[in-house]
């Protein structure tokens, strides 16, 4: 996985507008938007010229994400994943069932960082990830309410 990252760093950034982080999204964008060759714009596809097969060898998550937001953008992405992972963990302690599912999805994503973008490579995984993420975010308890404060007053009144 990390050798593919090394190879990808040799290539210039070619934006894929949100579809480059997933083989599924890339194929669907190519098909629905009638963009022949669009799938060849991702970093994992472009490093095939160095002998790294996108369909046979795993590529870490970083080139997949960089295909959409560039390598400097990946730093921000990784920070945000860590931030949301921590928030999901804290919300599991508050017994939010969607937080547990979001936490599990983030855990799978983090475990596979060195291998690939596991959560987004299939349509089912991507839809499940986004639906559960939004369900969790919509059901989060504001931090002020967790501390017993409502409108700046103690909840003990």
Q: Residue range 117-127: average pLDDT?
A: 86
- Across the range 136-156, mean pLDDT stands at 62
103, 85 contact by CB (below 8 A): yes
CA pair distance 22, 4, nearest whole angstrom = 16
Residues 64, 115, 66: CA angle, nearest 5 degrees? 15
**Structure-model confidence comparison of residues 74 and 152, the more confident one:** 74
Instruction: State percent of the chain over pLDDT 70.
Output: 90
Q: What are 72-110's pLDDT values in tens digits?
A: 999 999 999 999 999 999 999 988 999 999 999 999 999
Give whole-number Cα distances, 57 to 7, 98, 121, 153, in Å. 13, 33, 14, 57
Residue 145's pLDDT is what? 59
CA atoms within 13 A on the CB side of 130: 7
- Residues 30, 42: contact at Cβ < 8 Å? no
Determine which helix (DSSP H) or strand (DSSP E) holds 144, and give its type and residue range: helix 143-146
Instruction: Tell me what pLDDT residue 121 has.
Output: 83
The reported pLDDT for the residue numbered 150 is 45
The verdict on pTM exceeding 0.85 is no
Pick 43 or 119 by higher pLDDT: 43
Indicate whether 18 pLDDT > 60: yes
pLDDT exceeds 50 at position 149:
no
Q: What is the model's pLDDT at position 143?
A: 58
> pLDDT grade, residue 154 (50/70/90)?
very low
Query: Is residue 125 predicted with pLDDT exceeding 70?
Result: yes
């Amino acid at each position: 996985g990390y050798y593919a990252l090394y190879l990808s760093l040799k290539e210039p950034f070619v934006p894929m507008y949100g579809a480059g982080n997933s083989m599924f999204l890339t194929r669907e964008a190519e098909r629905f938007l009638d963009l022949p060759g669009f799938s060849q714009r991702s970093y994992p596809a472009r490093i095939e010229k160095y002998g790294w097969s996108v369909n046979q060898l795993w590529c870490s998550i970083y080139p997949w994400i960089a295909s959409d937001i560039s390598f400097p953008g990946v730093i921000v992405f990784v920070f945000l994943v860590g931030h949301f992972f921590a928030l999901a963990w804290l919300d599991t302690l508050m017994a939010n069932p969607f937080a547990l599912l979001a936490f599990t999805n983030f855990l799978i994503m983090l475990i596979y960082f060195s291998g690939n973008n596991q959560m987004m490579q299939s349509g089912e995984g991507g839809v499940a990830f986004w639906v559960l993420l939004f369900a969790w975010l919509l059901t989060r308890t504001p931090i002020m309410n967790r501390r017993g404060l409502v409108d700046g007053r103690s909840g003990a009144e």
